[in-house]
Structure 1
Amino acid sequence: MAQLIEHSQLPIRGLNLHVAQVGTGELGTVVFLHGFPEIWYSWRHQMQAVAAAGYRAIAPDSRGYGLSDQPPEPEPEDVETPWEDLVADVLGILDALSIPKAFLVGKDFGAMPAYDFALRHPDRTCGVMCLGIPFSPVPYNFEGTMPEGFYPLRWRQPGRAEADFGRYDIRRVVRTIYVLFSGSEVPVAKVGQETMDLADDSTPLPEWFTEEDLDVYASLYEKSGFGYPIRMPYRCTDKMTTQLDAKFQVPVFMVIGENDYTFKLPGFEAAVRGGMMKSFAPDLKVAFVPEGSHFMQEQFPEKVNELLLGFLKDCPP
C-alpha cells in the first residue's frame, strides 16, 4: 500500500520552499531534484518506491517553481552564480531537516545542482544519480552547433518564450511541452514558427501521461507561472561553473533513455558512451533504458525504480 506523501513549507535562505516527503528513512534519505517543466510530482513513483524500501524521499519544488516562493530581485540572469543558489537550497533543506547525508537524484536541469552538490559537499553526499543530462565541466553552449529554432536558443531571448506561452493557457503550455519533450526528435521550430506551434491539442499525450497528471502539473504552474522557470535555467546556462579539474569522490550513476532527444545534442553521446564522464567520476556507472524518453521516470517507473534501488543498495554506507 502506498504511503501518504506529506507536504510542508520550509524556510530556506529567505524563501519558503515547498517540500514533499514520504518514508521513515531507516536506510537513509534520497533527495529528488526536478527539471523543466517538471515539479515535485514528477518523482511520485520513485518517492513511493524508495519509501517502501526503507528510505526517506524528499522532493522540493525548486525555487520559483510550483508551490515554492518566487526569489526576489535581481532576476536570475543578472546574478553571477544562480546555480549556486540551487546547491545552497539543497544544503539548507538537509540542515533544516537535520539530515547529515543524502543520496541525490537529479533530472534535466536538476542534474546540475545534483552534480555540483556532490562536488562541493562530498561529506554530505552518499551518491548521485542523474537522468538524461551528463556532467559537463563547462557551461552548455548550443550557439553554432544547433539550429536557431532550437528551443533553448529561442527561450534564452528575453520575452520570447513569455510571448509564445502567453498565447495559451497554462494547461495547454504544459501539455505541448510534454508532447514535444517526450519525443525522440529534438524540438526545433522553423522560420516563422514558435516552439508552441510544434504541437496542438490534436496531438495525443504520451500514453503514460494522463489527463489527471496534466491537471496536477497545470495547477502547480498556475501558482508559479512560467516567468522564473523560463529564466532559470534557460537564461542562466552561460553562468554554469567551469570545473575542468572536477573529481567526484562519491559514486555517480548516469541513466539515459535511448529515445531521449537530448541524446542527440552535441557532446552528449560522447560524454556518456565515449568516456568523458569517467575522467571526472572514477566511480561511474552508466545505464541505458531502451525506448526511454526524456521523462523515463514517468514513462517506465518500474525500470527506473529498479535502477535507483540497485544504486542505493550498492553505495557504501
Structure 2
Amino acid sequence: MDERNKKALYIIMGLIIAMLLGTIYGSYLTPQKTHLTFGATYMTMNNPFYEVINNELKKEIEKKGDELIVRNPELDIDKQNEQIEEFVTKKVDGIFVNPIDSSKLTSLESARESGIPIIAIDASVENTDLIDCLIESDNYHAGVLCAQNMMNRMQSANIVLLKHSTVESAASRIQGFVDTIKNNSNYRIIDSAECEGQLERAMPAMQSILKEHSNINVVMALNDPSALGALAAIESLNCQDIIVYGVDGTPDLKSLIKQSPLIAGTAAQSPIKFGTLAAKNMYKILERKDVPKTIEVPVTMITKDNIDSYNVKGWQ
C-alpha cells in the first residue's frame, strides 16, 4: 500500500473512531456551537418562588451569552406537554422543567429521544430515567420541621391540611408532617383540601372547612401562598386561636411571622440556589461531566424565635 492510500485509510479510521466515541459518550455535545438555547417551563408563574428561580437561571445563562426561552403552562399539564414538544421542535440544547403532574409529563420521552438533556426543578417525575438531574429541597424534612415545631408549641391539636397531591414535592412535605405526628393520638387531622398551592384557591377551600369545624387549632399548608390563603380565610371569618404553617420562606410570610400571631412559621427553601445549581449542572451535562442524579437543598425552619436572623424583604 502506497503512502497516499495509507493516509486515506488512517483518515477513514479516525473518522470511524470519532463517530464511535460520540455514540459512547452520548449526544449532549455541541461542538463549534457558540450560542446555546434552553427552554424552561414551570407549573405556574403565579408564584414568586418560581419567578426567583427563573431570574437566577436566566442570569446564569445570559452571563454566558446564551438564551433562555420561558413558558408558563398555568397549571395545565396539556399545555406543559405542548411547551416541551415546542422546545423539542426548536432543537433547544437543554430543558428545565417544573412538573405540574409527575405522572403525566409524556412529552419528556420526545425530548429524551431527541437527545436533549433535562433537569427537573423542585419536583421529580414518575419515570426518573427521563431526566438527567433533579434539583429539589428536602421536602419531606420541611414537613417534619413544621410538625416538630407545632408539637413543641402545643400538647394537642386538631389539624387541617392544605395539599397539592399531584406534585411530588408538595406531597412529600405533607407526608413528612403526617408521619411525624402519626403515632401521637393528641394530634388529629380532622380535614384536608386540595388547593394546587394557590392563594386564590386555598382561601375559599379553607373558608368551607372553617364553616364545618369549630375546633381547628392548626393549618399545615403545602407552601406559603396557600398559607396566606388560609390566613385570609381565618381573618375573613374572624376565627381565633388557629395557627398556620407554610413552606417556602417568602418575604410576605416572613414579614407576617413578625406581625401576626396566626403565622407560626415556614420551612424556608432557597430558590436562589435552585436557579444557580440548575444552570451550572446543565452546562456540566453538556460538557459530559458527571452530575448527581438528585441534588437536595436543605430547608430551615423560620419562626418568631429566629426571624430577626433573616432578611424579610428577600429570599434566602
TM-score, normalization by structure 2: 0.37
Q: Which protein has the larger Cα radius of gyration, Structure 1 or Structure 2? A: 2
TM-score by length of 1: 0.37
Structure with the bigger RCO (C-alpha within 8 Å, sep 6+) is 1
- Higher fraction of helix: 2
